Structure 1
Amino acid sequence: MRQPLTIVTGGSRGIGAAVCARLAAEGHDVVVGYRSDADAAHDVAKAVRAAGRRSLTVRVDTADEASVDRLFDSAVELGTVTGLVNNAGISGPNGRLADADADGMRRALDVNVWGYLLCARRAVRDMTRSGGGAIVNISSAAATLGSPGQYVHYAATKAAVDAMTTGLSKEVAADGIRVNCVAPGTVWTGFHEDPQRPAKVAAAVPMGRAGQPQEIAGAVAWLLSDDASYTTGAVLRVAGGL
């Protein structure tokens, strides 16, 4: 049995950091991909090591092909990559689409769609040669709710992630690679422009509250585990009933 080694993009904070901690607890070595906060990434890696697993941090711009290749090349230091969590993402401008900054929207598309595609492409190439693996894409309930008045462009990127998951899962199933997706609702993280947004939207959630990063991490860990060995192409909604 191969030692699980998983790359987590956007692993220095929020959902990504919670995923790293959960995977370490379940026996994964973890590569923490981060964009800018090196100190936070090193803290996450330290927590992984405290759980008895190996870890390294790699600065990466997932929207840049060469940077993505460096991320995966660096992971070889720990062994053979068996998993990828495509988590790095940005909201882009907040507000009505008619008022949105074009450059901000384009950057959101670059990170949330192009970045996911580049990381998944490299993962598939490596996993095909090494005997398979698993990819979990982080989407959002916004993919079906649309986020009107807030960030329609962001919702569109997450709908693209859902479609990517469906298509790629069918494309690589025969290669021993599973591709699934977790679609969180509003979660208490630093992602929000308004730090109190999770509290403000709670009344609209059937369960009456926003989620915690650890609750998303549990879903991701299951999809990467052997318990999900017959699961591919799934979009697992973890959104409190929305």
Structure 2
Amino acid sequence: MARPVTVVTGGSRGIGAATCLRLAADGHDVVIGYVRDADAAESVARGVRGAGARCAVVPVDTAVEADVERLFDTAERELGAVTGLVNNAAVTGPLGRLTDTGTADLRRVVEVNLLGALLCSRRAARLMAPRGEGAIVNVSSAAATLGSPGEYVHYAATKAAVDALTLGLAKELGPDGVRVNAVAPGAVDTDMHAAMGDPGRARRIGAAVPLGRAARPEEIAAAIAWLLSPDASYTTGAVLRVSGGR
């Protein structure tokens, strides 16, 4: 049987990097989409290839339609028919109240987190639906239902929209044999928190959740891998919360 070919956006770090490595171990060939850190993306690619998988590395800003088209064109040309998509690329902007958040930051968060997921999902659906199979996993956030007041209401709003995208697209594509699900992580110990200006945030929030710690990226990757797998063949339209009980 042909190996599954899965596109992972934001695949050079954090949850995305862990997902690429997990999928390679599970028998997927992987397309790593990344926006700026080519060295980090190549490091993940070495790990993917070390697991015996084929790999393509493609720079892509998911908010740019031409970049998204090139991402999927490269995937199909180099690795074959795309069978899976992980919409993981996302940005938060700086932490703070909505009243203090600049318009440029708001626009970028909406364009990457929502428009990017829409563009990637649309292209994946155009490839998968005629073939009668495929799976999309969106990386949402527990923030979608918590709202994240005082931190990033704008980010939470885009993730709530991703949940709506997941449900609607699952119903739309189900008759075509394409499944669409989401994973909603809570606090995850990645460098995203440092990028938003609070490097200790994951550990601080993690200490307050029922399981008493932040998640490891590999734990989120495991949930994503399950949703892409045949074991989840009757699961679609689900938002799987992986948040330590928060």
Same fold? TM cut 0.5: yes
- Number of aligned pairs? 242
1:173-184 counterparts in 2 under 5 A?
173-184=174-185
Q: Does 1:141 align with 2:145?
A: no
How far did 1:198 drift?
Answer: 1.0
1:111 is matched with which residue? 112
Mapping of residues 56-205 of structure 1, within 5 Å: 56-76=56-76, 77-192=78-193, 193=196, 194-205=198-209
Q: Which residue of 2 aligns with 1:235?
A: 239
Identical-residue share of aligned pairs (%): 67
Q: Which runs of 5+ in 2 are unaligned?
A: none
The match for 1:223 is 227
Corresponding residue for 2:53? Answer: 53
Matched position secondary structure for 2:215: coil
What SS is found at the alignment partner of 1:174?
A: helix
Distance 1:103 1:97 in 2: 13
Whole-angstrom distance in 2 between the partners of 1:2 and 1:119 = 23
How far the C-alpha of 1:131 sits from its partner, in A, is 2.9
Measured in 1, the distance between the counterparts of 2:33 and 2:127 equals 17
Q: What's the offset of the Cα at 1:197?
A: 0.7
Once the 2 structures are TM-superposed, how far is the Cα of residue 3 of structure 1 from its aligned partner? 1.6
Is the 1:135–1:179 contact (alpha carbons within 8 Å) kept by the matching residues of 2? yes
Q: Is the 8 A contact 2:207 2:214 kept in 1?
A: no
Kindly provide the amino acid, as one letter, of the partner of residue 54 in structure 1. R
Write the letter of the residue equivalent to 1:205. V
- C-alpha distance after superposition, 1:135-166 (max 9, x if no partner): 00000000000000000000000000000000
Which runs of at least 4 in structure 1 moved beyond 2 Å after TM superposition? none
Q: Take 1:202 and 1:230, find their aligned partners in 2: how far apart are those partners?
A: 32
CA contact 2:15–2:220 (8 Å) conserved in 1: yes
Match of 1:35 in 2: 35
Partner SS for 2:150: coil
Superposition TM-score, scaled by structure 2 size: 0.97
The Cα shift of 1:128 comes to 1.4
Gaps of 5+ in 1: none
2: CA distance between counterparts of 1:130 and 1:24? 23
Q: 8 Å contact 2:130–2:176 — kept in the other structure?
A: no
On the 8 A contact 2:170/2:180 being kept in 1, the answer is yes
Deviation by residue 1:113-132 (Cα, 9 ceiling, x = unmatched)? 00000000000000112331
Instruction: Give the C-alpha shift of residue 93 in structure 1.
Output: 2.9
CA deviation after TM superposition for structure 1 residue 195, in Å: 1.4
Contact 1:162 1:235 in 2 (8 A): yes
3-state SS in 2 of match to 1:204: coil
